[in-house]
Structure 1
Amino acid sequence: MLTHDPRNPQIILLTTFLLLGVITRDWSLKLDLIAVLVVSTLSTQVICAWVTKSEKLNWRSALITSLSLILLLRANHYTTMAIAGCLGISSKFLLRFNQKHIFNPANFGIISTLA
């Protein structure tokens, strides 16, 4: 079921918001930069899960971070998008307290690339 995992409705809402913005508000997005961002977040999630020997691959969490970064971050360079995605996902694995990540991964990625 789609509503069994609370991340599923979040993915649906973020995707809907993104599509509505593109269709009705003329948000200009570069598809190649979006692809770099999605690939960097998902691949970082896979690598970090493998390194930490995590039993589950939380691809939904990485997808939510990707969608959030697509909505919030505007950049003209592939490296900026890739770094934001990689640092955001990596922060979930490196900066933890009581088995939970401290920062919002998308916000961490944005702040890290702006710094």
Structure 2
Amino acid sequence: MEQELKAEGLPKTNAFSQWIKNNFQYIPPAFITLILLVGQFTYGILDNYLSLVVAIGTSVISEMILARTILGTRKNLASAYITGISVGILIRSNVIWPYFITALLSILSKYVLRYKGRHLWNPSNFGVSWMLFLGSMNVAGLSIQWGSNLAAMSVIWVLGLLIVNRAKRLHVTITYVISFVILAYIRCLITGDAFLAELSPLTGPMYQLFIFFMITDPGTSVSTKKGRIIVVILVALVEFVLRLNHSIYAPFYALFLVGPVAKYLDLKRSSPALQVK
């Protein structure tokens, strides 16, 4: 590698940065795989590996078929992989069918619920939210299956922040975290619970996937930085209300309610030239 760089007359750091830029689409899948591996080998967060394979396989195959039949194109499957692995991590069930249905719903939402050629919901947020709401007899969500390994959390947070910064979505993550901390303090004043108890969900894998993948999703984010900041504050506020009403899966439901409305309004005011498939 070093000899190749010298032959090309490029500094190693510049060449590495260019490689990251050219292959960035593969970095988020690698990162979410790292989250899974850390959680699984440290705390065993998966019930079984078959459910994960079913979720990923359903997402990838559905993406391939729907992209070809509806859009007439081939799509990079990194996004479908992220959706599948998110489903495999975020839901819990003793049977396999919820993983298949959730992954299928997630990918279908990209091709059925569209406006001006764009999908409105983050795919995994759509599928997981519906399954947790309608399939509560057979499905639960990932919650405390992580523990409090500070070293593992630190690695994931550092890498996560670097990745969202590279994707130009760091302001989204930071705004949400600040909003969550402030609203957690307000909740503890209202409920009388300990502040650290209200704050602790931020260290869990559910929130890590939410913070680094769902609310930062470029495909369903609004088009301006100011708009994204406003939207994520609204998501945090809706989550605040839902948590006060003892909703366990408040962040998913909050994004499900706020995100597509914001995306729809953003697309409605956008120029036709910005409409893409």
Q: TM-score, normalised by structure 2?
A: 0.39
Question: Runs ≥4 in structure 1, deviation > 4 angstroms?
Answer: none
Q: What is the Cα-based RMSD across aligned positions, in Å?
A: 1.7
Paired residue secondary structure (1:57): coil
The question of whether the paired residues in 1 share the 8 Å contact of 2:58 and 2:100 is answered with yes
Counterpart position of 1:61: 79
Query: Which of 25, 34, 38 is residue 16 of structure 1 equivalent to?
Result: 34
2-structure distance, mates of 1:75, 1:7: 30
The residue identity in structure 1 corresponding to 2:91 is L
Identify the residue that residue 83 of structure 1 maps to in structure 2: 101
**Using a 3 Å threshold, how does the CA distance of structure 1 residues 2 and 74 change in structure 2: closer, same or farther?**
farther
Which of 108, 123, 134 aligns to 1:105? It is: 123
Q: How far apart are residue 52 of structure 1 and its match?
A: 1.0
Q: Describe the superposition over 1:12-61 as per-residue Cα deviations: whole angstroms up to 9, x where unpaired.
A: 11000110111122323311111111111111111111211432223111
Alpha-carbon distance in 2 for matches of 1:68, 1:2: 23
**Could you say which structure has the greater relative contact order, defined with CA pairs below 8 angstroms and 6 or more residues apart?**
1
Shift of 1:73: 1.4
- Following superposition, the deviation at residue 88 of structure 1 comes to 0.1
Counterpart position of 1:35: 53
- Computing the radius of gyration over CA atoms, which structure comes out larger, 1 or 2? 2
Deviations 1:67-107 (A, max 9, x none): 21122111222111100000100101111223221111011
**Alignment identity in percent?**
27
State the AA in 1 paired with 2:114. Answer: R
What number of residue pairs does the alignment pair up? 115
Secondary structure of 2:22's aligned partner: coil
Aligned partner of 2:22 in structure 1 is: 4
One-letter identity of the residue aligned with 1:51? T
- Structure 2: how far apart are the matches of 1:17 and 1:6? 18
**Cα contact 1:3–1:9 (8 A) shared by 2:** no
Which letter maps to 2:78? Answer: R
CA deviation after TM superposition for structure 1 residue 3, in Å? 4.2
Unpaired segments ≥5 residues, structure 2: 1-18, 135-277
Name the SS for the 1:52 alignment partner.
helix
Q: Which runs of 5+ in 1 are unaligned?
A: none
CA distance in 2, matches of 1:3, 1:17: 22
| Alignment partner of 1:51 is 2:69 | yes
